[in-house]
Structure 1
Amino acid sequence: MTGRWERILSRYGQTITLYRQGQEEGTACRAFLQPVLEKGADFFQRQPTPLGLVRQDRWICLGGPDMALDELDGGYIAWGNQIFTVRSAQPVYLGDRLVYWWGLLAVRD
């Protein structure tokens, strides 16, 4: 299962960079980043896109087992010209094996 997930990430995922607290050099990884869509959000936090209104302050991140989003210790994630802080992170297991990381990200100002 992890081999398939890594092939999907390498083909369709975005290249992101993980920066741990106190480290100047980041680690490049592949992940899926998508904005969180909510119906009850305040209007000023939404921006029109071809797919509809999108909240710009919260994103979902799905990444490989090597990402360890809970170990950034105040670090951040960079993607393009966006900088994200990890609000919440959960490892997802299949049996005893870590398959991927799920993270809720906030756009850092």
Structure 2
Amino acid sequence: MTDRWRQILSRYGQNVTLHRQDGEEGTVCRAFLQPVLEKGTDFFQRQPTPLGLVRQDRWICLGGPEIALDELGDGYIAWGDLTFTVRSAQPVYLGEKLVYWWGLLAVRD
């Protein structure tokens, strides 16, 4: 299963760079990134705050077992000209084997 997942990521995934909080050089890996599409009429991409508008859009990240989204700490994920903070991350197992990571990301300003 993990071999097929790696094949799918290599063919259809995007190159993302993981930057850990310790400031090391980023690690490039493959993942799927997709915006969370809200159907409600009360969803806005930007919310007003006393200091100005803040982005509120969220993205889903699916990545291989090597990306360990829970180990980024205060680090971030970079993709193109966007950077993301990990809001929530869950490892997904098949039996005892870690197959992929699921993460909910927020765009950093």
Q: TM-score, normalised by structure 1?
A: 0.87
Report the RMSD for the aligned CA atoms in angstroms: 1.7
Structure-to-structure mapping, 1:57-96, within 5 angstroms = 57-96=57-96
Aligned length: 101
CA distance in 2, matches of 1:104, 1:72: 13
Please tell me the residue identity of whatever aligns with 1:104.
L
CA distance in 2, matches of 1:43, 1:96: 38
Question: Does the 8 Å contact 1:35/1:56 carry over to 2?
Answer: no
Question: Which consecutive unaligned segments of at least 5 residues does structure 1 have?
Answer: 47-54
Match of 2:3, SS?
helix
CA distance in 1, matches of 2:76, 2:92: 20
Question: Does the 8 Å contact 2:19/2:75 carry over to 1?
Answer: yes
CA distance in 1, matches of 2:104, 2:58: 7
Task: Give deviations 1:4-45, integer Å, cap 9, x for gaps.
Answer: 000000000000000000224100010000000111254541
Structure-to-structure mapping, 1:1-109, within 5 angstroms = 1-40=1-40, 42=42, 44-45=44-45, 57-109=57-109
CA distance in 2, matches of 1:88, 1:34: 15
Moved over 3 A (4+): 41-44
Q: TM-score, normalised by structure 2?
A: 0.87
Identity of aligned residues (%): 81
CA distance in 2, matches of 1:35, 1:56: 11
Please tell me the residue identity of whatever aligns with 2:8.
I
